[in-house]
Copies of this chain bind each other. A is one copy, B any other.
Amino acid sequence: MIDISQLKFDQNGLIPVIVQDSSTGKVLMLAYMNREALELTIQTGYMHYFSRSRNKIWKKGETSGNVQKLKNLFLDCDGDTLLAIVEQTGVACHTGNETCFFTTLEGNGEKIATDIIFSLMETINDRKQNYVEGSYTCYLFEKGLDKIVKKIGEEATEVVIGAKNGQKEEIIYEISDLMYHLSVLLAYFNLDWPDIFKSLKERMK
């Protein structure tokens, strides 16, 4: 049971909650909870927030269906911010975007290193559905499973050669190549990287 006494609510009785997607690690939104919203969240297992504009508690996804199932809840070192790791149904943002943070103010718009895996899978799944002239990914899907696994064998061998050459740049390049072809195989079987990460987690226990 949560020890609520550790939490520092602000002068309005609220605490900010950072909401992060458990599969992708993407930061989805920042919302606020009062004590009751927190209790409802813990009791039901689904995220409830306090709306500062509407001045009332709301269950995320109540009307849209885009609910957030609580997986884990963390408190920060000074007790005044929560981090909720959630399983997001559909998209988090009311604009239809995956995350509320879609406006770039500064920088090249890149988020986190691991995002690349998910962008890559999106592109591969799109190529699987829609033929694009000159696309290597489309070519692989057209050729089919034997071609895809043949490439996996080939790329793994190139990783071995790179390693035996002791060349870091070559190793990085060949493992990237292998990761791409493994992604195509996953997409072929309607699988995704979180399936692999879950399996790795199970086996590390």
> Which chain B residues border A116 with CB–CB below 8 Å?
197, 200-201, 204
Q: How far is the CB of A188 from chain B (nearest CB, A)?
A: 8
Distance of A107 Cα from B135 Cα, bound (Å): 43
Residue A129 CB within 8 A of the other chain? no
> Which chain B residues border A145 with CB–CB below 8 Å?
163-164
Interface size, chain A (Cβ < 8 Å): 93
Distance of A104 Cα from B6 Cα, bound (Å): 11
Distance of A168 Cα from B105 Cα, bound (Å): 42
Are B112 and A22 interface neighbours, CB within 8 A? Answer: yes
A22-B112, A25-B114 known; A153-B163 Cβ under 8 A: no
User: Within the complex, which residue of B20, B97, B100, B101 is in contact with A27, where a contact is CB–CB below 8 Å?
Assistant: B20
Q: How far is the CB of A166 from chain B (nearest CB, A)?
A: 8
Residue A171 CB within 8 A of the other chain? yes
Count copies of this chain in the complex. 2
Q: Which residue of the partner chain B has the closest CB to A204?
A: B120
Are B111 and A73 interface neighbours, CB within 8 A? Answer: no
Distance of A152 Cα from B77 Cα, bound (Å): 41
Q: How far is the CB of A10 from chain B (nearest CB, A)?
A: 10
A24-B113, A42-B106, A77-B102 known; A119-B204 Cβ under 8 A: yes
Q: Which residues of A contact B (CB under 8 A)?
A: 2-3, 6, 16, 18, 20-27, 29-30, 42, 70-78, 81-83, 85, 93-95, 97, 100-117, 119-120, 123, 145, 148-149, 152-153, 155-157, 159-160, 163-164, 166, 168, 171-173, 175-176, 178-180, 182, 185-186, 188-189, 191, 193-201, 203-204
The 10 A-B pairs at the shortest CB distance, nearest first, are namely A72-B107, A156-B156, A25-B25, A74-B101, A25-B112, A114-B114, A73-B106, A113-B197, A76-B100, A176-B199
